[in-house]
Amino acid sequence: MQQEYKEAMEKISLSDSDKKRILANVKKACEESEEKVISMDEFKKRPRFSARQKGMAAAVAVLVVAITAVVSKGFFGGKLKKQPKQGEIVASSDEEEWQELDSIEAIAKETDCRTYKLGNVSKSYRVKKVEVKKKAKHVKITYRNKKKKDKILFEYKEEENAPDVINQFTEKNELKKEKVDDSEVTMYGDEKCDAMTWQKESCTFAVKMSTACSTDKAKKIVSGTKEENKPDKDTDAKVKKDEKHIASNAVGWSGKESESDDKERRRVLRKIYDMYGFRVTVEDPARKVIYKVVDDFESFSFHYDELSELENQRIVGYAGVDGCPSGVLDGFEKMQDIEVNGLTITWYQNKKDESLFYFMKRKVAISLLIKDWSGENTENMLSGLISVIRISLDAAHDDKGDNSSSDSGNNSDKNTDNNDAEPTDNADNTSNNESVEAYRQAAQDIQYAVADGSLKKLSSYIRFPLSIKGLGETVSSAKEFQALDSSKIFTSEWVDAVVSYDTGKIKSSTKSFTMGESSHKLVCQIKNDSVVITELHVNSDEVQPDTEPTDSPSEE
């Protein structure tokens, strides 16, 4: 019998000390039963059970009691689970655990959950913890104010009226219900609000605050809850528009690039200068400027919205010693050569009516790709694009494209501490001479346009918008300028004053010059190595009032 108990106990997961204690109790019970002497009268009936059998029964009872006690104390692997009642739904034993993420941004990157955040909380609050249940699409974001040690728990689940979100407030005092945007918000608290729940976009939201706030502030928090990374129709439309309006042969560009920050711009420009001794920057009014290195060429893209036809188009450029990257010219055929601001520009087109303009400026080969161009007023368009492109040969250039820095004519005065100062100065002097000749030629071309009385030719040198002093008019485009009555501008006195200007006065250090005098003049600036007209003055006393409508002479 003892051996049977011993084998039975070995099958039970008890500690060694418990086994020894129970076995000792059994042995003791057996020994005590053997010591007892049962005296019975011979006339009485013999007992049904012997003393030994009774002792064994007592031992079994002791064993049962001991095992029951051990089980109740949790020696069988912990507390027994509560047995479910009949018909009760039992939760799965593999219930999803909360997973902590590094940031709010990680929600979109690592899960399929939507990303919401509180937009109207104080800037002193920082995201302390982000937790998710991926399968349940349940998210918790904890904000913390370091100074006051306040916390805000923001919770949402992609389920309408989610019980595990709403039921946590069943024992709280309902303060009031408020309509915020399109959602009914239930606020909880005593005098102030310290928690709230609401439904929106098939989601259940909840906010719990360690410090209660006014109901107005609570409403503000709710209204500032916005979904992040949600596809913005306007933004998507812009991206698609950008992709659509970039030339197909724009090697190295996808149309999805972001505007270059200061660090990236400096890195590209420094690399190009180290390779070739020049750098090209794109200045105002160009916008969304991006710099890259493509096949050892400096490449840049920008938007130029001064002309309505170029609006929303991404213009892509390449700058190098000669030619352009492989693949850019594929499918293009030469159309014609155009003279603009003293530069000879070759115009190419492909079967898609995309345009490529190629020219040399200060010994730098520049190519410009344009997706859509009608061909109307091409000279004026190119004049505008050239005016925003700046070439610098100066090693001390700050890469910022600051127009307040000295012109190319002053490059020879820099780098005087370098060992290579002499050859650098010689190269700069040659460059300066070429630039001066280009400026003088541009000034002469302006005089030719004035002598011809051509608003169209003159407009290709104008920086718009242009205020015409004396007429009290401001024109914002070449089209508006060409629509003016030419007789109001090209008076004989005005033409004589402008064409009599001596272009030989233009030097390497010249930043601006005036052609004419008093109220008969044009004011020109040398900007980004190009000559542009910035002011136009006429004498209003010489302009005769119109007695009948006068058409401007056709320039076509």
Cα-based torsion angle of the residue sequence 429, 408, 259, 307 in order, rounded to the nearest 10 degrees: -120
Are 242 and 181 in the same domain? no
User: What's the pLDDT at 452?
Assistant: 83
What are the b/e assignments for 346-361, b being 16+ CB within 10 Å? ebbbbeeebbbbbbeb
Residue 417 lies in a domain: no
Residue 466 lies in a domain: yes
Are 379 and 306 in the same domain? yes
User: What's the pLDDT at 244?
Assistant: 56
SS3 for 146?
coil
Residue 394 lies in a domain: yes
* CA separation, residue 139 to residues 167, 168, 170 (Å): 16, 15, 20
Phi, psi of 17 (to 5 degrees): -65, -40
pLDDT digits (tens, 9 = 90+) for 144-171: 987 777 899 999 999 999 999 999 998 8
User: What's the pLDDT at 379?
Assistant: 87
Residue 556 lies in a domain: no
Residue 447 lies in a domain: yes
- Residue ending a domain, among 172, 196, 228, is 228
Residue 54 lies in a domain: yes
User: What's the pLDDT at 415?
Assistant: 37
Are 217 and 247 in the same domain? no
What is the DSSP secondary-structure string of 247-291? -TT-TT--S-PPPP-HHHHHHHHHHHHHHHS-EEEE-TT-EEEEE
Residue 415 lies in a domain: no
Question: What is the residue range of 185's domain?
Answer: 99-228
Are 246 and 214 in the same domain? no
Are 380 and 242 in the same domain? yes
Q: Does the CA dihedral 347-325-307-539 come out positive or negative?
A: negative
User: What's the pLDDT at 550?
Assistant: 41
User: What's the pLDDT at 441?
Assistant: 83
Phi, psi of 241 (to 5 degrees): -65, -40
Are 380 and 436 in the same domain? no
Are 139 and 186 in the same domain? yes
Domain count for the chain: 4
Which DSSP state fits 344? E
Are 216 and 344 in the same domain? no
pLDDT digits (tens, 9 = 90+) for 349-397: 999 999 999 999 889 999 999 998 877 788 888 988 988 898 888 754 4
Residue 498 lies in a domain: yes
- Residue ending a domain, among 36, 54, 72, is 72
Phi, psi of 146 (to 5 degrees): -65, -35
Are 208 and 150 in the same domain? yes
- Residue ending a domain, among 228, 257, 278, is 228
Residues in the chain where the model's pLDDT stays below 50: 37-45, 74-82, 84-93, 231-233, 235-236, 239, 242, 396-427, 545-556
- Name the nearest CA neighbour of 130 among 99, 108, 97, 96: 99
Are 189 and 301 in the same domain? no
SS3 for 403?
coil
